[in-house]
Amino acid sequence: MTETATVPNRDLAVGQGNMSWWSQADNRRCGWHNLHTIARYVESFRAARVLPLEKRTDASIAALESVRTLATVPWFSAMIVIHGQHVLFEQYAADFHRDHPHSIQSITKTLMHLVIGRLVEGGVVDLSRTVAHYIPEIGSGYAAATVQQVLNMDVVNDYSEDFADPKATYYRHEEAMGWRLPRSPGTEPTEHGFLVRIASEDTTNRTGHTDYKDANTAVLGWLAERAEGRRLRASIADIVDAAGIEGTFHITTDREGTPTVEGGACLSARDLARYFAIFARQGLGVAGEKVGSGSFLAATMSSGVPMRGSYAGMRYSNHLMIADQTVGHSGWGGQYVLADIKTKKVGVYLSVLENQHATDEAGFMRSVIQMLQSVTGAK
């Protein structure tokens, strides 16, 4: 039998800078707008009941110079501000629309704040326990680290996440995420198989600042499954129902179906606002169901590890970024979402930076965060 010639899948092939084709600068906007169809493995969730949103335009938001500027930059995709069920502001780029899913990258990590918070409140997870207590086979990169250290991005190991470094561990991790082709056919790692190989001689972080890495979130997802004896996808389904999203919540997975909670979610701007309103409600769903923990969120607001760069002055605490009275999170390449705990308003900003490594070299995210704080804060 003659063997048919094949070629690598272009979207997932690795090219310049050790970056996947879809994440390279010239292709990135298409990649971030379509990751839910590009990644090799994806699961999708729909909510049983939808939280309806009604326009109640606040003209003062549109009048702000910071809003006019950030909503017209070339890399802008979408922005929305909601308060309860009211849409106070909403705008989209010409090549993006209200119902289209957008990759939210590391904003996905906030799922683990809700999951772990619920388990902590229920006595299922002890923050002072080591990762090895819950995952005995974990490697030295996490075995001695406490759950609290992992939640706060406060662990030192040999995993590196410098997008400008083509040898960074992150790019090997992408193989397990299904975001790129494996280096050799038949050698594709799984999330868990990848995580156990991370090593460290001493996991203690002595820098006084966060040591941010995607692997931390993946470890938390695995730990939650072990502690609760329940598939992580079931917890995600609960959260999607609690958010009352209208469209589809997509999340990439590894080959075995493990959700990429470190960065794989894709959903519309409206649905991201619906999801993050759970934080404004302090862990409660649209019907009052508990999918997070109000007490865990309160502890989060008063603790954490200082951040650097564009996030200087903020703290990373229990998988949220804390600034004043807001909780939020950024996503690789230009996304940010926050909830103001006092006003209960939620702000979403989606964009796709098109510089070489999709990094915030010019402090762009600081201006985004300040703008979102101004439109969601008390007046």
pLDDT tens digit sequence for 232-256: 999 999 999 999 999 999 999 999 9
Residue 318 or 186, more confident? 318
In a domain, 148, yes or no: yes
CATH of the domain at 165: 3.40.710.10
Provide mean pLDDT across the span 7-14.
95
Choose among 294, 297, 296, 275: nearest CA to 286: 275
In a domain, 10, yes or no: no
pLDDT tens digit sequence for 103-123: 999 999 999 999 999 999 999
In a domain, 7, yes or no: no
Provide mean pLDDT across the span 264-291.
98
Whether 349 has a pLDDT exceeding 60, the answer reads yes
Provide mean pLDDT across the span 64-77.
97
pLDDT bin (cut points 50, 70, 90) of residue 136 is very high
pLDDT, residue 58, reads 97
What average pLDDT does the chain have? 96
In a domain, 205, yes or no: yes
Q: How far is CA 223 from CA 173, 226, 229, in A?
A: 18, 5, 10
In a domain, 158, yes or no: yes
In a domain, 310, yes or no: yes
Provide mean pLDDT across the span 109-138.
98
Token digits for 170?
């992150």
State the total domains in the chain. Answer: 1
Q: Which domain holds residue 164?
A: 27-376
pLDDT tens digit sequence for 27-44: 999 999 999 999 999 999
pLDDT, residue 1, reads 59
Instruction: Please enumerate in sequence order all residues whose Cβ is within 8 A of that of 256, keeping only pairs 6 or more positions apart, or say none.
Output: 190, 191, 192
pLDDT, residue 114, reads 98
In a domain, 6, yes or no: no
Whether 47 has a pLDDT exceeding 80, the answer reads yes
pLDDT, residue 2, reads 66
In a domain, 21, yes or no: no
Model pTM score: 0.97
Number of Cβ within 10 Å of residue 298's Cβ equals 12
